Chain A
């Protein structure tokens, strides 16, 4: 065993539990935790997609239109639908955690979470109107 090599620096031989890197599949709540962490991958992909669109925009109409055609394709819309589900899951978990962090007297965690949802609805409606009508 490799651990015995450390016996000089370690005063006691500590028991080390072997932790396989599939530990998060053992329990439902661990898997949900991992899905929450995975949501950040989709957040990053969306940010990179936006950057790709802007790069194409800066390269002229022809390149921009060909990139837009890719973003309008069926599989790309399907991918965005999956990304949207993960980003909604990020939003739900984020507001739940906000409640736990900022939910101190006189506000309860539940009230903070509800306030977050109210602001979210307002922000979403305003942004929707600005982007589509502005």
Chain B
């Protein structure tokens, strides 16, 4: 089941209504957990065992880690949890990729064979496995107590608003909210509504329209378009993926509020970043902080000298790329970001005291340069072939044939430009001086704007056929 699907608009009111009618804590959490499992199993009920098994293992491992003082035993239980989570993730996500590459390699030695099996990716496995690992590691580090109730732990793992595509919620953020069923405040209802409608608008009206109208056709056959169109398509793709993923997160956070839960923010105006480092502090925050706390720091972080720190950074970003998808272009995307991070860190250290870094013109240049790096990198994850990607890169770096006097906007559907503006409207709004003051003044009529947004997305959204991009990760 996905948020924009028809069945979700039946599922959500029923789950909400029953949840708030149930009087007792156990009944409410039991109902919510059951609903979350239904949500999980909707598309492929055969995979329900994955989340049930991992829930059981992690909960039990957490209990054993907390109950033991023997470090060796504690480590064994922690290892069981990590191996179980990463093992299943590896099987479902990477087995086909590894097999295909092994078979390609075997062909070099004259052995010809084809992969005859196919594995579907269980919903949200990349997300809930990371939640499970963070829980047992935090218990191991004695940062949180182990959860006594299996039901509570099951709800933490399966909570349907964030299970399919995050944010990756830490136990330390979620479990304390579960002590008593949180009461929903008027502010949560209002904020939830804003986020729910705003998120669906971003997804259905902006991201899906950009995909159908422009990004999809151009990336499918870049050779058929001028360099100017390819550049606009790359920019449109950057806006599409932001609206798709942040739209999902907004809906997730909004729906969680209606149950009284607060989920962590996942985005903070990422396209206003003034460096690649800054970007990763604003984009998919729950993943980047997870990788920092559970991978980069345990690897030694920047405490073991600059060379090791740079290697750690590279490794983290390569794995980050592979976390998104088992394919070579994802690995290259991770490497690209890792190299940029290393270069930026070096540059940062060398120029930290330079006065010009505080000038306005440098700020503008830094924003523009960062955006350019991001757009170039994002082409890697959208291209449908390396040849097609090459054409896009050629256009972005000015190598492609660009006829003299070519109109900068020719070949781009007119509707794309307002969609691009709408997609980054939140970013632009943040740049407006007195933005907050205006927001307060507009609050009384804000509901009308959101009602209009519902009308727009119902009438002009291309429908719910387009799945959320990050669900595939």
Are A and B interaction partners? no
Question: Which A residues have a C-beta under 8 Å from some C-beta of B?
Answer: none
